[in-house]
Each structure stands twice: as structure tokens, then as C-alpha cells.
């Protein structure tokens, strides 16, 4: 709905769907801030060693909620099969991602230099998802375990043999 006299649009702009025709990697790694990058490098390294395709994006649930919604709601269409989301402090990112996708989401609570509880704050945030919106959670700064868990989820396949979209991985 719009109000021409005020020239104010009260409906949100549509989510961008650019790039949907391009096949994405199997695992999406998200972090809430550029300052989280170093803590998530073990996940990138682990997936790289296992030969599992992945992408890394900085997307904040609080500073760029529309970007998070766009990514999460289109990830499965691009072929992504598991999402790893690391965040510190209020650590809303894994939960918001899970709100927009049925893909398995693995949360990684991170220690932030600004954290008042050394990562316990992020841990409590990530594990306290409401019923119906699950997020798996590894240990504080457990990025490598998140990658290993993602690879084990992928190793289960996407359904019965021959199911369209089933990842053809040898792990
Ligand atoms: C969280 O706030 C991020 O995941 C990060 O761990 C923390 C601090 O972010 P910056 O202020 O360093 O960007 O949302």
C-alpha cells in the first residue's frame, strides 16, 4: 500500500533474487561481523581440506536484517545444504537464519572483544531458540566442529539415492 500524498511506501521492498540461476556451494558460512572472521577460519580450513564447496559472507542480523533474510530464504534454491552461522554478543544471526530457511543451521557462539561474558552470552543466545525453530550449537569458538558436523550432515545425503538434489559427495 502507498500514500501518494506523502510519497511514503509502507510495504517493504521485495527481496532481491539476483544470482539464483547460479548454483551455490554446499555450505554457507555466515558471520555477524568482519571482526568474527578470524574465529571462523578453522571452519573454512576444515571444509577446504574435505573438499566441500563453501562460501563465506559477513551478514549482520541487526545491521543488515534484509540481507540476512535474502540470503537465508534463497540459499536452498542455490543448492546450499547446510548453513554455519557464527556470531558474538547478542548472537541473533543463527536464529534469524533458521527463521528464513528449512536448511540445517549450525550456530557457533563467538568470543567478541566487546563481549561482557566471553562468549557465554552468545552461547546462551544461540541455544535458547523457541520450539519449532531449531539451531544446532557447537562450543564457544567451535568453528572447526561446526564444519565437521556440516560434513556429517552432508554425508547423510539429501534423501534416497536418485533423489533430485542429493549431494554427490564422497566423504
Ligand atoms: C555481533 O557483534 C558480531 O557477531 C560480533 O561478534 C559482535 C561485534 O561486532 P562488531 O562491533 O565488531 O562489528 O553481532
pLDDT (tens digit per residue) in 53-93: 999 999 999 999 999 999 999 999 999 999 999 999 999 99
CA distance 166 to 160: 8
Return the ligand 1 atom nearest residue 36 CA: 6
CB of 89 sitting under 6 A from ligand 1: yes
Q: CA-CA distance, 51 to 67, in Å (whole number)?
A: 27
Ligand 1 pocket residue status of 94, Cβ below 6 Å: no
**pTM as predicted:** 0.84
Q: Point out the residues of the chain with pLDDT beneath 70.
A: 1-22, 157-171
Residues contacting residue 47 through CB under 8 Å, at least 6 positions apart: 27, 29, 53, 54, 147, 150, 151
Question: Is ligand 1 within 6 A of the CB of residue 33?
Answer: yes
88 strand-pairing partners: 110
Amino acid at each position: 500500500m502507498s500514500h501518494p500524498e506523502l510519497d511514503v511506501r509502507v510495504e517493504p521492498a521485495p527481496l532481491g533474487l539476483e544470482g539464483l540461476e547460479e548454483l551455490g556451494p554446499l555450505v554457507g558460512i555466515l558471520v555477524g561481523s568482519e571482526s568474527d572472521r578470524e574465529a571462523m577460519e578453522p571452519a573454512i580450513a576444515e571444509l577446504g581440506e574435505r573438499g566441500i564447496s563453501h562460501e563465506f559472507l559477513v551478514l549482520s542480523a541487526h545491521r543488515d536484517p534484509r540481507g540476512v533474510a535474502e540470503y537465508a530464504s534463497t540459499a536452498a534454491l542455490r543448492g546450499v545444504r547446510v548453513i554455519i552461522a557464527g556470531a558474538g554478543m547478542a548472537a541473533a544471526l543463527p536464529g534469524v537464519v533458521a527463521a528464513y530457511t528449512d536448511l540445517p543451521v549450525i550456530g557457533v557462539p563467538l568470543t567478541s572483544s566487546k563481549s561482557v561474558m566471553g562468549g557465554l552470552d552468545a552461547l546462551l543466545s544461540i541455544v535458547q531458540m523457541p520450539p519449532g525453530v531449531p539451531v544446532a550449537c557447537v562450543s564457544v569458538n567451535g568453528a572447526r566442529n561446526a564444519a565437521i558436523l556440516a560434513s556429517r550432515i552432508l554425508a547423510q545425503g539429501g534423501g534416497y539415492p536418485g533423489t533430485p538434489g542429493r549431494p554427490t559427495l564422497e566423504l
